[in-house]
Amino acid sequence: MKASLIKLALSVLTSEKGRRAVGWILVAAFSPLILISAFLCALGSGEAAHNNNMVEACFYGVEISDKAPQELKAHVREMRSAFSLLDSAVSAANAEMEDGNSLDPIRVKAVFLALCYGESAPTSRAANRFVDCFYTTEEATCTVEVEGEDGEITEEEESYVRAMPLPLRAAYGNVSSLLGREITEEDYDNISHIYLMIAGDMGDWEYDGDYSYLGGDYDTDWDLPPVAADPNKTVAGLVAYVTNAYESGWGYVWGTFGNVLTQSAFQSKLEQYPEGVGNYADFIQEHWIGRRTADCVGLIKSYGWYDPDTESIVYGSHGMPDIGANQMYYSASESGPISSIPEIPGLAVWHDGHIGVYIGHGEVIEAMGTRYGVVKTQLAGRGWTHWLKIAYINYD
């Protein structure tokens, strides 16, 4: 980072004007965390790689250059503490949602990083308030069977609350009110840059290599072999599960993880992911409505979250958090360059922003992109740079 940028960053971090009060509980809870403009203002120059490394350090915990000021290293640590609280709050919110809906933890953290800069992490309560900006609840009723004292079964209506993700602009309006500041077009650009950088490949590319897709006659019923339904989440189970997804003709929709894509779920994803879903709305409507769908890391997470007892995908279950492809790579229990990949079916293969599952004999199953769905490809020639053991899968 240029000396002038460092000086600018430190001057804002230490000035009262740069950390102006944002109102009621946020005065203490959201004391700003890091000067994101100092990271991003040099994009397009020779400093871009350095600034991107700083953002990656916040998301992945990678080492920062020794040349970086100690103050900025401390702020990265505070941001990572904040991210942990935000992840917990997102998981709690997502546990209330139905129909495959979910908040995107990367989006929430990208907004937080771009707007909140300074010295200390928020409290757990403040993190929950921040996440509350991104979803809403609506009252609904359902009919339930109730056994009376005489043993007779009757039907009664029961009220419940269903959480739903908000469209981005509505969520940003809530964030603006919470922080007591306007979100500018420059802020939106910074949020978008961070999000796309961390979220990775959205399938917005063309592939002219060989691949196999078996989606002509798709199947939405669960017909898993016993090993894939093993609750211990074994490596053999992972291979069987993704193979079943390939043979069942799963599609690809950004932000999904194995549930059937209903019209209402599609509409929710369209509002939630204007980049990765909105750009392909017509294609998704024509090809993927009514099918099970996943994005690249969602294919793996759907196995981690699959509950064999209920034959459903339970968000955030079995110890597997909601993380992106790059976060899955950086949290790997073991990894190495692709040239050294062992012949172990069930390893994941990765390049920046994308991930697949090696099934042995030189083949990979991956949710390749919106125009492809879940396909089988060859390990060689796909640009994979590393292999990894997924931290939440049993490789024994």
Q: What pLDDT is attached to residue 272? A: 82
Tell me whether residue 172 is in a domain. yes
pLDDT of residue 9: 37
Q: How confident is the model at residue 204 (pLDDT cuts 50, 70, 90)?
A: low
Within a domain: 395: no
pLDDT on residue 117: 61
Domain final residue pick, 199, 221, 252: 199
**Res 172: pLDDT:** 93
pLDDT of residue 225: 92
Task: Kindly compute the dihedral angle of the four CA atoms of residues 294, 301, 132, 281, in this order, to the nearest 10 degrees.
Answer: -10
**What pLDDT was estimated at residue 7?**
34
The answer to whether residue 151 sits within a structural domain is no
Domain that holds residue 89: 3-137+166-199
Residues 210-266: tens digit of each pLDDT? 889 987 778 898 989 999 999 999 999 999 999 999 999 999 999 999 999 999 889
- Tell whether 262 and 184 lie within a shared domain: no
361 or 121: which carries more pLDDT confidence? Answer: 361
pLDDT at 176 over 90: yes
Out of 29-33, 306-310, 327-331, least confident range? 29-33
Of 6-20, 104-118, 302-316, where does the model show the most confidence?
302-316
Predicted pLDDT of residue 162? 65
Do the domain assignments include residue 144?
A: no
Q: Is the pLDDT of residue 182 over 90?
A: yes
Q: What is the pLDDT of residues 52-68, one digit of tens each?
A: 777 888 888 777 667 77
Say yes or no to pLDDT of 160 above 90.
Answer: no
pLDDT tens string 337-363: 999 999 999 999 999 889 999 999 999
From 174, 199, 224, the end of a domain falls on 199
Note whether residue 251 is domain-resident: yes
74 & 181 share domain: yes
Looking at residue 6, what is its pLDDT?
35
Measured CA to CA in angstroms, residue 219 lies from 146, 224, 255, 281 at distances of 35, 12, 21, 22
Domain count for the chain: 2
227 shares a domain with 178: no
On whether both 181 and 297 belong to a single domain, the answer is: no
pLDDT in tens, 128-149: 999 999 988 777 676 767 777 6
Q: What are phi and psi of 114, to 5 degrees?
A: -75, -25
CA-to-CA dists, residue 325 to 98, 201, 298, 331, angstroms: 24, 9, 9, 10
Q: Do 260 and 362 fall within a single domain?
A: yes
- 89-111 mean pLDDT: 83
Both structure tokens of 295: 């994005």
Rounded average pLDDT over 94-103:
75
Contacts of 160 (CB under 8 A, 6+ apart): 139, 140, 141, 142
User: Mean of the per-residue pLDDT values for the chain?
Assistant: 81
Taking alpha carbons only, the member of 257, 255, 258 closest to residue 267 is 255
pLDDT classification of 120: cutoffs 50, 70, 90: low
In degrees and rounded to multiples of 5, residue 175 shows phi and psi of -60, -45
Query: How confident is the model at residue 273, as a pLDDT?
Result: 84
Same domain, yes or no: 223 and 176:
no
Q: 186 versus 33: which is more confidently predicted?
A: 186
3-class SS of residue 131: helix
Residue 292 forms part of a structural domain: yes
Q: Residue 253 belongs to a domain with what CATH number?
A: 3.90.1720.10
- 91 and 189 in a single domain? The answer is yes
Percentage above 70 pLDDT, the chain: 80
Q: Whose CA is closest to 306, among 296, 293, 295, 320?
A: 320
Whether 176 and 225 map to the same domain: the answer is: no
* End residue of a domain, out of 199, 222, 241: 199
- Do residues 111 and 17 both lie within one domain? yes
In a domain, 188, yes or no: yes
Judge if 271 and 194 occupy the same domain: no
Q: Is residue 273 part of a domain?
A: yes
Domain match, 113 and 195 both:
yes
Angstrom CA distances, 89 to 94, 108, 234, 297, stand at: 9, 10, 28, 21
Same domain, 227 and 106: no
CA distance 237 to 226: 8
pLDDT at 19 over 50: no
